[in-house]
Chain A
Amino acid sequence: MSGRAVAAGTSLVAGAETRVSRSLPRLFGSIAAVGAVLAAVPLWVGDSRVRMGVAILGLAFACYAIGFNLIFGSTGQLFLCVGALAGVGGYGTALLADRVGVPVVAALVLAALGAALVGGLLSWVAVRRSLGVIFAGIITLIFALSFENLVLGASTITGGDSGIQVSAGSGTFLRERTTAYYVMLGLVLLCLVVHGLLRRSRVGWAFRALRDDEVAAELAGVDVARYRVYAALVGSAMLGLAGGTYALIAGRVSPTTYGFAQVDVVVIVMLAFGGIGTLVGPVLGATVFTILDELLIELGQLRLLAYGVLIIVLFLWIRRGLIPTLAELVRRKPGSPPGTAPDGEPG
């Protein structure tokens, strides 16, 4: 039941099939370009603490978007628990380091592993029961809501509504805005490299095969179930690592840091901007969204309205994502026939 349906669903959001560059220099070239541009951000943001905070949060969201993109864009699993998995990383790191007394790095790694296990388990259950996109979406949404309520309810451990102070990492370079920014940027680049290498490996071929036509992929001998779970494991590890690192940098975690409305919804908007299924699209989407959100801050609640309109417009007319479409318009030489795909990586 779910086979063909899932493939149809993901090809909808992924738009046309994405070409994957096979050359390694080109892959690292595009990642390095993204890194170079983002590395220059502190130069013009300057020493405004607030703005650097926004920039760091933007990078954390870039990691979330890459992780979600790996799980949803590459293997068509609608994970509506991005915030919750990041929260497993965030609360896990904070509690392990502060309450249990595990060294900070070990706490971060353990928490990320925990997030990977939870994500992998959710994916395994969905795959084993061959749940379609919607059902997997509901199961992960249920997990996200349970996590939020657990954090709110178990207030003796998690601080409930107001959250907890994270003392691990205080007094180190993680609390210096500029170095923290570069740590987060390093994490973004790490996620990009991992995703990029995955895409051009055997695993990446399997991802694309099962996204384009799951039944055909299965018949050609691709172990669809296994690759889905792999993608969920790796993607969730990224989410947990980013959530944990952000907790150490921010020095405080609360339910809204990892809430469904605050994370998952935003990540979906970012992917609508950047293009689902592309390599650097999520980072571009996160950047554009973060800047736009700052520019529109005066609008207050009306920002939500604006994003709603944008989502409708983007998914209705520009399904490949705003940035890839614009890039194609720019790159298309005047006079060349319409619809010619640009070379290599979109975005």
Chain B
Amino acid sequence: MTASILDGIVLGLQFGVLAAGLTLVYGLGGVLNLAYGQIAVVSGLVTLLTMEAGVPAVPAALIGLVAGGALGLIFDLTILQPVYRRHGEARVLLSLLLTLGAAFVIDGYLNWRYPLRGLNLRITGDPLVVFGVRMRMGSVVASGITIVVIGVLYWLFRYTRLGRAIRSVIQDEEGSRLVGIDPQLMMRLILVLSGVLAAIVAITRSMVAPVNVRAGFSLTVLGLIVTVVGGLGSIPGAFLAGLVLGIINSVASSYIGTFLSLIILLVAAAITIVIRPTGLLGVRE
């Protein structure tokens, strides 16, 4: 039981980071990015190709992060520009359709140019004993990185001027404009940050299991479900939902079997949405 809960936490932390990238973009700009998983995949692929070019793993992973951020920036500068000119649900829907198109473009290209490739960062080392359970080194390192990321996000949004500026845009776009914050610029920064988070997911995930070129869509869907369960726009909600769903998933899979566990995860998500349409920590507008 302890083992599967710990596995669930490892998985849940990654779910949380995955969802945080989506939920930030939604909370700030009312934009749903369906090409989010593809950003993760591209970052993973860039890391892989850089490593194949002879660069050591750590700098290669950093280049992967830069690639993720750059892709986020490209999205902001291109297909999201017409999206920003709309408001409310029309904006969400247009962003959803356009980023779906972008996801096809990336998927089509990757499947054509790099079929069956995948990033697999093997972390060697003896298993570490945590609470009497032997954890694989890859899981421990991945979780360590994820926890640091969560800490940095917390610090960024709680204590820095930039974080406060972003939170004020989430709360009231018009009001923040009045006090001299440029929502457009904040949105651009958040898209870069979201791209970097997607890259972090790809890299940490590849320490536990390979992330292949076809994983984009399922990463997006998983992120979307965790985001909605946590409450659209809420970062703490994203992490809470990530942990809850991660633990449900791995406990269910060790006791019931893999295929039913995914269904249990999905049903749990559906029940949460139906009972609390605003999500676990979401605020009703």
Contact = CB atoms under 8 A, between A and B. Distances in A.
B112 A1 contact: no
A300 B112 contact: yes
A316 B98 contact: yes
Interface stretch (B42-50, B103-111, B128-136, B165-173): B103-111
B89 A9 contact: yes
B111 A304 contact: yes
A46 to B, nearest CB: 31
Given A13-B93, A131-B277, A308 B104 contact: yes
B32 A307 contact: no
Interface string A305-328: 111111110011000000000000
Given A139-B273, A304-B107, A134 B92 contact: yes
Of A12, A130, A302, chain B has the most CB atoms within 10 Å of the CB of A12
B262 A149 contact: yes
Given A135-B273, A146-B263, A301 B90 contact: no
Contacts of A142: 225, 266-267, 269-270, 273
Contact of A6 (B89, B104, B106, B269): B89
Interface in A1-27: 1, 4-6, 8-9, 11-13
B285 interface: yes
B224 A315 contact: no
A138 interface: yes
Interface string B113-137: 0010000000000000000000000
Interface in B230-263: 232, 257-260, 262-263
A5 B224 CA distance: 20
Contacts of B263: 146, 149-150, 153
A303 interface: yes
B221 interface: yes
B199 interface: no
A268 B104 CA distance: 12
B102 A308 contact: yes
Contacts of A141: 221, 224
A143 interface: yes
A153 B261 CA distance: 11
Given A129-B277, A146-B266, A306 B108 contact: yes
Interface string A112-125: 00000000000001
Of B94, B106, B274, B277, chain A has the most CB atoms within 10 Å of the CB of B277
A134 B92 CA distance: 8
A271 B221 CA distance: 22
B42 to A, nearest CB: 14
**Secondary structure of the B contact surface, majority rule:** helix
A12 B89 CA distance: 9
Interface residues of B, number: 47
B217 interface: yes
Nearest to B285: A1
A133 interface: yes
B79 interface: yes
B180 interface: no
B125 to A, nearest CB: 34
A213 to B, nearest CB: 13
B108 A303 contact: yes
Contacts of B103: 308
A268 to B, nearest CB: 8
Contacts of A300: 112
A268 B99 CA distance: 13
Contacts of A12: 86, 90, 93-94
Contacts of A135: 228, 273, 277
B169 to A, nearest CB: 20
Interface string A144-156: 0110011011100
A341 interface: no
A8 B88 contact: yes
Nearest to B259: A153
A274 interface: no
B100 interface: yes
B97 interface: yes
A145 B100 CA distance: 17
A125 B92 contact: no
Contacts of A303: 108
Contacts of A6: 89
B267 A146 contact: yes
B23 to A, nearest CB: 12
B38 to A, nearest CB: 10
Contacts of B93: 9, 12-13, 133
Nearest to A131: B277
B82 interface: yes
B134 to A, nearest CB: 29
Contacts of B56: none
B144 interface: no
A145 B264 CA distance: 11
8 nearest A-B pairs in the assembled complex, by CB-CB distance:
A308-B104, A153-B259, A305-B108, A304-B108, A311-B101, A308-B105, A5-B89, A312-B101
15 contacts: A135-B228, A138-B228, A142-B270, A149-B266, A153-B260, A261-B217, A268-B100, A302-B108, A302-B112, A308-B102, A308-B104, A310-B101, A311-B98, A315-B101, A316-B98
Interface of A: 1, 4-6, 8-9, 11-13, 125, 129-135, 138-139, 141-143, 145-146, 149-150, 152-154, 261, 265, 268, 300-312, 315-316
